[in-house]
Each structure stands twice: as C-alpha cells, then as structure tokens.
Structure 1
Amino acid sequence: MVLDLLVIGLAIAVFPLSVTAFVLVLSARGGTWKGLVFILAWLACFVAVLAAVLLTTGGKPPAPKSPPSTAASAVKLAIGVGLVGYGWHRHRQRERTGPRHKSSGGLTARLDRLSLWTSAGLAPLLQPWGLVAAGAATVVSADMSHAASYLALFGYCLLASSSLLVMEVYTTFAPDSARVRLGKLRTWIETHQEQALVAVALVAGLFLVSRSIAQLTS
C-alpha cells in the first residue's frame, strides 16, 4: 500500500493542470489568502474521501481474493488503463496539431474577482479525480489497527498537497521573490504542459496497471 500511495501522491502533487491553476490563484489579487482556502478545501476533499473509504471498510483490510479486494484492484486497473489511454491520446493529438501555448491573462483577470469561497470551491474541481480515486482504491487495504497505517495516510495527504504547500509558504514569506519565480514556473508549465500531462498519465497509468495485474494474479 505504501508504495502505491507514494507514487499516486507524487503524481497528484506534480499534476500540471492543478499546479498551473494554483499558481494563477496565488498570482491573483489577495492570492495568499485565496491560496490558503484553496489548500484547506483541497485537503478537506482528501480527508473526506479517505474517511468514506475507511468507514466503508471499518479500518480493516479485506481478505486477499475476496470480492472487495478484487473489486479494489479492478478499479485501480481500470483507472490505470484509462490514464494510459488518456496519455496516449494527448500524445497523438499533440503530434497532429503541434505544440500550443495558451495565454492565461484572461483567467488571471477573472481570478482577481473571485471570492475566498469561490477559491475554496475551485479546489475540488481541479483535483485529478482519476488519481484520487486510485488512491481511494488503494486505501481499501489499510489496516487502521497499526500506527503505521495512520502515518502512511498522513504522508499520502501531505505528499499529494506538497507542491501547493511549498508555493503557499514561499509566497507568504517571500512574496516578491515568489512572484518572479512562480511566474517563470507558470510560463514553463504552460509551455510544456502537454508533455508533462502525457508523462504523468503514462507513468502513473502503467504503474497502476502493473500493480493491479500483479495483485489480481497473485
């Protein structure tokens, strides 16, 4: 479980669309506060998903080869196949149309007018829900009778949110330097967004497929 959550959490942390959106939130007027409520709502979603899974399982992992265990592995396999297909589709589409660079100026202007509540509402919409669902399917095997499981789940939430937390702290304590560096990061991500999406989708997808097949056949 720990290895699966490590890879999934890392994939969520570097997911280009979420990172780009958060950089834009921080760049908006009152961005530090908007970023804070965004992160709180982001974490609340993770906690809610994990709590729902643990309430369903009672904090006890299903027996190997049991219907719940098989269903969890099948869900991860389906998500993995979907991510591989998505990454391949984006790769082929980029080959046909060529690289595209989209201006975010209009979006930044709209974010300036967003309230804190709206910023919080954006967090659930911008989470990579395919990866979040894969994490939820992995948590089915968590045994909450051991302290290590609590640490693993805490580390998963922290890792998945690490990129947002680092940017928020940086912007809070070094706003001038952060504005310059985050602007460069946004430009780089927007320029390489397609390649990054393809890489994250393919790597995470292939990992989930291989792990799920191993669990289903072992």
Structure 2
Amino acid sequence: MVLDLMIIGLAVTVDPLPVTAFVLVLSARRGIWKGLVFILAWLASFVAVLAAVLLTTGGEPPAPKSPPSTASLAARIAIGVGLLWYAVHRHRSGHRAKPSGGMMTRFDRISLWTAAGLAPLLQPWGLVGAGAATVVNADLSHSSSYIALVGYCLLATSSLLAMEIYAAFAPDSARVRLGRLRTWMQAHQDQALIGGSLLLGLYLVSRSTYQLTS
C-alpha cells in the first residue's frame, strides 16, 4: 500500500492542470492568502475522501480474495484502463490547450472563496480515486498506516506547498520563476498529461492484475 500511495501522490503533485492554476492564483492580488486557502481546501478534499474510505472499512483491510478486496483491485484496474484510454485519446486527438488572453485577469480578480472552490474542482479525481481504492487496504491498528496516509496527503500537496513557501519568503524571485514555470507548463501540458496518464495507468493495471490473480 505504501509504495502505491507514494506513486499516486507523486502523480497528483506533478499534474500540470492544478499546478498551472495554482501559479495563477499566487500571481493574483493577495495571492499568498489565496494560495493558502487553495491549499487548505485541497487538503480538506483529500482528508474527506480518506475519511470516507476508512469509515467504510472501519480501519481494517479486507481479507485477501474477499469481495471488498476484489472490488478495490477491480476499481484500480478500471481507473488504470481509463487513464490509458485518456492518454491514447489525447495523443490521437492532438489536443493542445490554448491559454486564454483574459485568464490572468480573471484569476487576478478571484475571491478567497473562489480560490477555495477551485482546489477540489481542479483535483485530478481519477488519481484521487486510485488513491481511495488503495487506502481500502489501510490497517489503522498499525502506526505505519497513519504515517503512510499523512505522507500521501503531504506528497500530493508538496508542489503547491513548495510554491506557496517560495512565494511567501522570496516574492520577487518567485514572481519571475513561477511565471517561467507557468509558461513551460502551458507549452508542455499535453506531453505531461499523456506521459503521466500512460505510466500510472500501466502501473495500476499491471500491479492490480498481478495482485488479483496471484
């Protein structure tokens, strides 16, 4: 479970869509406060999903080959297949997001409440779902499971936290470098989405199929 959560958390934190949006949030007026609210809402969404799963399982992993265990693995396979389909479809369609000229202006005017609402809206819910299907196996009778869950949430938020801290303590330098990051992410968004979806999809399908059949 720990390895799976770390890989999924890493995929979440480098997802280009929320990273690009967060850079724009930081660039807005009172961007530090809006970024903080964004991060808190982002974490709250993760905690809510984990809490719902753990309340359902009671903090006890299902027995191997039991219906709940099989269902969680089947869900991971389905999510993996969905990610593979998305990668292939996006590659074949040749879609490339075109940055809107008014996007910066719109983000500059967002409120704290809007920043909070953007966080769950922009989360990669396919990856979050894969994490939820993995958390089914958490055993809360062991402290290592708590550490793994906290580590998963922090890893999935690490890129946002790093940018928030950087912008808070070095605002002038951050403004320049985060602007460059935003430009690079917008130029390479397709490659990042296709590559990330392909790799994680293959991992989920292969690992879950092995666990299901072994």
User: Shorter chain as normaliser: what TM range?
Assistant: over 0.9
> Are 1:211 and 2:207 an aligned pair?
yes
- Say which of 113, 133, 141 aligns to 1:145: 141
Q: Distance in 2 between matches of 1:105 and 1:18?
A: 19
Q: What is the deviation of 1:161?
A: 0.3
Q: Which runs of 5+ in 1 are unaligned?
A: none
Q: Distance in 2 between matches of 1:154 and 1:108?
A: 33
Matching residue of 1:115? 111
Q: Distance in 2 between matches of 1:171 and 1:102?
A: 26
Task: Give CA deviations for 1:5-29 in whole Å, capped at 9, x if unaligned.
Answer: 0110000000011111111111111
Over aligned residue pairs, what C-alpha RMSD do you find? 1.0
Q: What is the deviation of 1:157?
A: 0.2
* Structure 1 segment 132-211 matched on structure 2, within 5 A: 132-211=128-207
Task: Give CA deviations for 1:126-160 in whole Å, capped at 9, x if unaligned.
Answer: 00000000000000000000000000000000000
Q: What is the deviation of 1:103?
A: 2.6
Q: What is the deviation of 1:101?
A: 6.0
Structure 2 counterpart SS, 1:141:
coil
Matching residue of 1:89? 89
Q: Distance in 2 between matches of 1:44 and 1:37?
A: 10
Q: What is the deviation of 1:105?
A: 3.6
Task: Give CA deviations for 1:44-67 in whole Å, capped at 9, x if unaligned.
Answer: 000000000000000000000000
Task: Give CA deviations for 1:165-203 in whole Å, capped at 9, x if unaligned.
Answer: 000000000000000000000000100110010011001
When the two structures are aligned, how many residues end up with a matched partner? Answer: 214
Give the partner amino acid of 2:176. Answer: V
Structure 2 counterpart SS, 1:161:
helix
Give the partner amino acid of 1:142. Answer: A
Task: Give CA deviations for 1:95-116 in whole Å, capped at 9, x if unaligned.
Answer: xx6xx46234411111121110
Q: Distance in 1 between matches of 2:64 and 2:36?
A: 41
| Identity of matched residues, % | 74
Matching residue of 2:26? 26
Q: Distance in 2 between matches of 1:89 and 1:39?
A: 31
TM-score (norm 1): 0.96
TM-score (norm 2): 0.98
Structure 1 counterpart SS, 2:166:
helix
Give the partner amino acid of 2:180. Answer: K
